[in-house]
Structures are given as C-alpha cells and as structure tokens.
C-alpha cells in the first residue's frame, strides 16, 4: 500500500463525505434536487386572450401561435425547464411552470405584453403640447392634425394617467389604461395630483404622439433585431440595454432622429419617448442626426432590470394583451402521480442492490469493491444534480437510470481484463495495473462516443429543435457517464490497490480465478 494510494483514498473519502453533506444539507438555497412539472407540479395559469374587435378566425389563430412562441421564449430565457404552454379553445392560454412556487413572479413573466413603441412630443406651432392645452380647449381637436393616433400623458415616473383617442365619430375622448372612457373631471383630478407632486420645469403631462418614419411607418419593437444588456461607457457605469435595428427599423429611426435633431437642444421636443406597455421607461435626447441602426435604452435601471428588459424585448411583444387577473392561478400536482418519485427511488435502490449481488457473486472481491464504487457513484451523481442544478424530469431520470446500468460497465471491462492477467500468473499488483491499462482504450472510446451523443443532443435540444426533454436527457446521461468513468478508473483502482501486498491478494479465488487454471 503506497503512500500515494492512501492519499487518493483519503481524497475519495472526503469527496464522498462532501457529496453526502450536499444531499442532506440545504445548499445555495436549495433544499432538494430540482424536479420538473411531471414529477412535482408547479404553477398553473390560464389566461383569456383579448383579441381586437373584428379579428377574423385566421387573425386569431396567427396571433395565438405567435403568443405561444413569445411566452415560450420568455420562459425559456428565464431558465424554467420543461414548461407546458398550450392553447385552449383558441382563446385561452394555459401555462404550467414546474417547481415555480412564486406565482406572482410567474404571472409577471407571462402577463407583460412587452409592447415597445417609440413616441415624440406633439408640437403646436413649434411649442410642446401639454395635457393642460387640451383641457383648456373647450372643443378639442388634435393640435397636430397630421397624426391621428393615441396621445399618452404620463406622470413623473412615466406611468400613464390618461390616453386621448379619437373615437368612431371623430370625437376626442379620454380613456384609462384599460381603454374605458373617463370624464373630464377625473382627468383634471388626475392631472392636478400629478402637478402637485411635480417639481417645477418637469416634463410631466406632455402629449406623446407616435413617432413615425418619413413614409408614415410607426416605429415599434417589431423592428428590433437584437437587444442585450450592456453598461454605459461614460464616467459612471450605468446598466443600459443596447439595441440593434433591422434594416427597415434603422431607416425609420434615422428619419425620426434627423427630424428631432433639428429641434432646440435640452428641450422636451428633442427627446424620443421609449414606451413599454404604455409606460414611459426612458426619454433620451437625440444627440446625433443619424444612428445607423444601433442605439441604447438608458434609464434608472438596475442590472436585473436591464437583463429583464433585454429579454422582454428580444422575445418580442405579445400580439394581443391577456386579461388580468388570469382565469385560473394555482399550484398543481405532478402529472405522473404523487408517488412516482418514491416508486422510482425504490426501483433504483432495488436495481442497485441486484446489480451488487450479481457483481459480488460473479467477480467476488472486486465485485464487493465495485459495489462500494457504485454507492459512491450514485451519491456523487445525485449531489451534482443538486449542485449544478439539474432539473430532474422523467427524461432526466431515464438518463440517470441508464447510466447506473452503464456505471458498472467500466468495472466489468477492467475486471475481465484483470482475470485474464491473473490467469497468466501475474501478481495482483501487476494484474491490476495491466488490467486497467488494457481496458483503458475501450473505456475511453466507448465513453467518448457517448459524450459526443450527449453533446450533440444537448446542442440540438438547446439551439435547433428546442426540446427540453432532449436536453435533460443529454445532461443527466453526460454527468452519469463522466462520473462512472471517474469511479471505475480512480475509485475502484484505489480500493483494489489497498489489497496489494496483503495476504488476501494471494488467494486468487477471491478474484474468481482458480489456481488450477494458472
């Protein structure tokens, strides 16, 4: 027994102890291994879609498909694995998020429409128009008659307090955020509330109109090619969202920039208003006449907020709003039945015990050591699942089970080689080393092919075919095979070496090699 071997042995014991602690103690705020919806249940939400009036069945179907895609993209970006997103009755959207116990967070993830539009300040003879200008006018008409779209008035924090729209009879009416008409008194009351809190010279209650390109196309988030979190390159590093327009969007934006650039600097009418779901999130000054397709959204953001905003913009806007609150919001149980996990664990343990019995009967002493290695294997793999963390779903359990069966494979390969060497009359020490060396190429090549399969499946599952079960399977099988290689090559060999030079090593029958055959 060499000193080096003792050192490795101690390291293995320490690793094993660490793995057990990982499984028992809560770590990184995780009490248990993360489980998928099929195993644990999670948040269940059903939303009613609000289609615009007069939408045809075809329009609705198209909007519905896009909405499902958009919600799926957002949830995937958020890192929830294997969500269920379904259409119900053509009008409702069902979302189930596995293990998502924070139902409010789940709702905000789904509900946010993510509708990004760009607005500019309405002008009247070159002066900015405020809500007051409309309210003072007894027989109101839009000041800018060329622009018929909605006017939005926001408070100091950018939240909308009123909308001014032209109804079917060409009469201007005020509405609230849900589109319900509100009377003049209410608008005045809201305006006063805002003004009483506003600091002098504030730009609150400006009339924001849609920003359009020279050909009249409205600039929206639909023209975005890319949005990613970034940091300002100024004296202070502020989180911001860097955006990239597609070709058409770049042209429209430059049309608008050129127009606003000609207005007096430091004035509100030189700003472009960035509205997300009708909330003014930022109103930067136009400081160049042309931006050539790129730009940034700055504001008083935290890093988390810019990440969220970039995700929201990248995943795109929902084609229609969803009715709030959802029709149903609740926690639901697993689809596979509550005792599926218990039964799987039972099956796994019975399987492992049977494998151990087989290994011990067939390979004797090495079989006992391989059994110990198998226990080590199971513990370390589960600990890794918890640490990484891997969301365990049915597909993942499949990968794990397969890897248990294959975990002994490397041991079997080595022991068969050892037996061959012992039969030729080598000592145990020599047989161990030759057996391991000879088995190595087979273990390496067979496992590398499995790794390649895992890598390809994972990459495909993530990028091309967007299939969470495929990814889950690939990840668990990869971890399983990697740990099993380590177990066979390091753990079993170290345990075997402990016997070299002891009296037990002389008794070849312990290694199921009988002296008669030598």
Partner 1 sequence: MFDIAGRRFWFFLISGVVILIGIISLATFGLKTGIEFSSGSRLRISFDEQKVSQDQLKQELANLGYPNAIIQSEIRPTGPGDFLIRTRELMGEDKAQLEAGLTAEFGHLTEKEFGGVSPEVATETARNAAIAVAVAAIGILLYITWAFRRMPSPFRYGTCAIVALLHDMLVVLGIFSILSGILDWEINLMFITGVLAVIGYSVNNTVVVFDRIRENLTKGVSSNFEVVVNNSLVETLSRSLNTSLTTLIVVLALLLFVGASIQNFAVVLLIGIVAGTYSSLCIAPQLLLVWERGEWGRFIRRLPAAKAKGG
Of residues 383-402, which lie at the interface with partner 1 (CB under 8 A)?
394-395, 398-399, 401-402
The yes or no reply on residue 467 touching partner 1 (CB under 8 A) is yes
Shortest Cβ distance from residue 110 to partner 1 (Å)?
16
Q: Least distance to partner 1 from the beta carbon of 276, Å?
A: 29
Q: Is 464 in the site for partner 1 (CB under 8 A)?
A: yes
3-state helix vs strand vs coil in the chain, percent to 5: 50, 20, 30
Q: Which of 6, 13, 448, 504 binds partner 1 (CB under 8 A)?
A: 448
Interface pick for partner 1 out of 135, 460, 482, 490 (rule CB under 8 A): 460
Q: Note whether 245 binds partner 1 by CB under 8 A.
A: no
Nearest CA among 126, 120, 71, 60 for reference residue 94: 71
Helix (H) or strand (E) holding 437: helix 428-459
DSSP character string of 243-289:
EEE-HHHHHHHHHHHHHHHTSPTTSGGGB-EEEETTEEEE-PBP-SS
Under the criterion CB under 8 A, does residue 76 sit at the interface with partner 1? Answer: no
- Count H helices and E strands in the chain, helices first: 14, 17
Q: Tell me the closest approach of the beta carbon of residue 33 to partner 1, in angstroms.
A: 17
Site string for partner 1, 328-347 (x = CB under 8 A): --xxxxxxxxxxx--xx-xx
Q: Establish if 133 lies at the interface with partner 1 (CB under 8 A).
A: no
CA distance 334 to 515: 57
- Minimum Å gap between C-beta 127 and partner 1 is 53
| Distance in angstroms (rounded) separating the CA atoms of residues 85 and 94 | 6
Interface with partner 1, residue 186, by CB under 8 A: no
179 binds partner 1 per the rule CB under 8 A: no
Applying CB under 8 A, which of residues 6, 354, 375, 504 lies at the interface with partner 1?
A: 354
The contact mask relative to partner 1 for 361-380 (x = CB under 8 A, - = no) is -x------------------
Distance CA 498, CA 518 (A): 23
Q: Which residues contact 174 (CB under 8 A, 6 or more apart)?
A: 162, 163, 164, 181, 182, 183, 184, 186, 187
**Alpha-carbon Rg of the chain, whole angstroms?**
33
Q: How far apart are CA 143 and CA 134, in angstroms?
A: 9
Nearest distance from C-beta of residue 22 to partner 1, angstroms: 23
492 binds partner 1 (CB under 8 A): no
405 binds partner 1 (CB under 8 A): yes
Cβ-contact 268, 274 below 8 angstroms: no
Nearer to partner 1, 120 or 409 (CB): 409
Structure tokens at 301: 């953001």
Interface characters, 197-216, with partner 1 (x: CB under 8 A):
--------------------
Q: Interface with partner 1 includes 322 (CB under 8 A)?
A: no
Binding positions for partner 1, 97-126, rule CB under 8 A:
none
> How near is the Cβ of 478 to partner 1 at its closest, in Å?
10
CB 481 within 8 A of CB 451: yes
Tell which positions 253-292 bind partner 1, by CB under 8 A: none
Among 22, 371, 447, 484, binds partner 1 (CB under 8 A): 447
- Kindly tell me which of 102 and 416 has the beta carbon lying closer to partner 1: 416
Identify whether the C-beta of residue 205 lies closer than 8 Å to the C-beta of residue 192. Answer: no
**Euclidean distance between CA atoms 410 and 416, whole angstroms:** 10
Cβ of residue 117: shortest distance to partner 1, in angstroms?
A: 30
Size of the site for partner 1 (CB under 8 A): 74
Among 191, 271, 477, 505, binds partner 1 (CB under 8 A): 477
Stretch of residues binding partner 1 (CB under 8 A), selected from 88-96, 240-248, 270-278, 308-316: 88-96
Closest to partner 1 by CB, 450 or 487: 450
Encoded one letter per residue, x for contact with partner 1 by CB under 8 A and - for no contact, window 34-53 reads -------x--x---------
Query: Distance (Å, rounded) from C-alpha 114 to C-alpha 222?
Result: 11
Is 325 a binding residue for partner 1 by CB under 8 A? The answer is no
Using CA atoms in the order 409, 355, 494, 424, what is the torsion angle rounded to 10 degrees? -70
Whichever of 85 and 313 has its CB closer to partner 1, that residue is 85
Distance of CA 207 to the CA centre of its chain: 38
Stretch that binds partner 1, among 25-33, 50-58, 379-387, 438-446 (CB under 8 A): 438-446
- Exactly one of 302, 449, 506, 509 binds partner 1 (CB under 8 A); that residue is 449
Task: Classify the C-alpha dihedral 478-481-483-489 as positive or negative.
Answer: negative
How far apart, in whole angstroms, are the C-alpha atoms of residue 329 and residue 425?
A: 71
> Which of residues 152, 243, 373, 470 is near partner 1 by CB under 8 A?
470
Find the shortest distance in angstroms from Cβ 409 to partner 1.
4
Q: CB nearer to partner 1: give 181 or 351.
A: 351
Distance CA 85, CA 517 (A): 65
Calpha distance 324→62 (Å, rounded): 22
């Amino acid at each position: 027994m060499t000193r080096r071997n003792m050192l490795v042995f101690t390291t293995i014991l320490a690793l094993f102890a660490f793995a057990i602690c990982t499984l028992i103690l809560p770590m990184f705020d995780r009490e248990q291994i993360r489980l998928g919806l099929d195993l644990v249940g999670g948040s269940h939400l059903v939303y009613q879609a609000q289609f615009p009036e007069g939408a045809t069945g075809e329009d609705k179907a198209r909007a519905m498909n896009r909405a499902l895609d958009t919600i799926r993209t957002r949830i995937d970006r958020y890192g929830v694995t294997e969500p269920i997103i379904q259409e119900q009755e053509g009008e409702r959207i069902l979302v189930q998020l596995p293990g998502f116990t924070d139902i409010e967070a789940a709702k905000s993830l789904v509900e946010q429409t993510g509708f990004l539009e760009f607005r500019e300040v309405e002008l009247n003879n070159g002066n900015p128009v405020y809500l007051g200008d409309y309210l003072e006018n007894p027989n109101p008409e839009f000041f800018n008659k060329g622009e018929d779209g909605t006017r939005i008035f926001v408070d100091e924090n950018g939240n909308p307090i009123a909308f001014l729209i032209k109804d079917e009879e060409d009469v201007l009416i005020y509405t609230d955020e849900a589109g319900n008409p509100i009377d003049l008194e209410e608008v005045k009351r809201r305006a006063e509330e805002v003004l009483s809190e506003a600091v002098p010279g504030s730009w609150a209650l400006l009339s924001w109109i849609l920003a359009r390109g020279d050909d009249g196309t409205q600039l929206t988030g639909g023209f975005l090619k890319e949005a990613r979190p970034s940091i300002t390159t100024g004296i202070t590093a502020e989180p911001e969202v860097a955006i990239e327009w597609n070709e058409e969007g770049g042209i429209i934006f430059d049309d608008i920039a050129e127009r606003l650039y000609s207005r007096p600097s430091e004035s509100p009418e030189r700003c472009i208003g960035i509205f997300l779901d009708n909330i003014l999130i930022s109103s930067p000054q136009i400081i160049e006449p042309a931006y050539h397709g790129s730009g940034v959204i700055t504001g008083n953001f935290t890093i988390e907020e810019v990440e969220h905003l970039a995700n929201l913009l990248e995943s795109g806007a929902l084609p229609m709003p969803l009715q709030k609150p959802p029709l149903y919001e609740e926690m639901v149980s697993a689809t596979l039945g509550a005792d599926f996990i218990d039964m799987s664990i039972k099956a796994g343990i019975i399987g492992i015990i049977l494998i151990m019995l087989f290994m011990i009967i067939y390979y004797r002493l090495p079989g006992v050591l391989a059994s110990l290695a198998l226990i080590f294997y199971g513990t370390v793999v589960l600990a890794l699942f918890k640490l990484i963390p891997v969301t365990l779903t049915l597909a993942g359990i499949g990968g794990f089970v397969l890897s248990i069966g294959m975990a002994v494979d490397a041991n079997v390969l080595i022991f068969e080689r050892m037996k061959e060497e012992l039969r030729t009359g080598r000592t145990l020490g020599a047989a161990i080393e030759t057996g391991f060396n000879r088995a190595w190429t087979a273990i390496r090549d067979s496992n590398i092919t499995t790794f390649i399969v895992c890598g390809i499946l994972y990459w495909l599952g993530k990028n091309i075919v967007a299939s969470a079960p495929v990814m889950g399977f690939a990840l668990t099988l990869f971890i399983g095979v990697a740990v099993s290689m380590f177990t066979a090559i390091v753990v079993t060999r170290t345990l075997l070496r402990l016997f070299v030079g002891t009296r037990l090593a002389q008794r070849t029958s312990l290694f199921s090699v009988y002296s008669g055959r030598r």
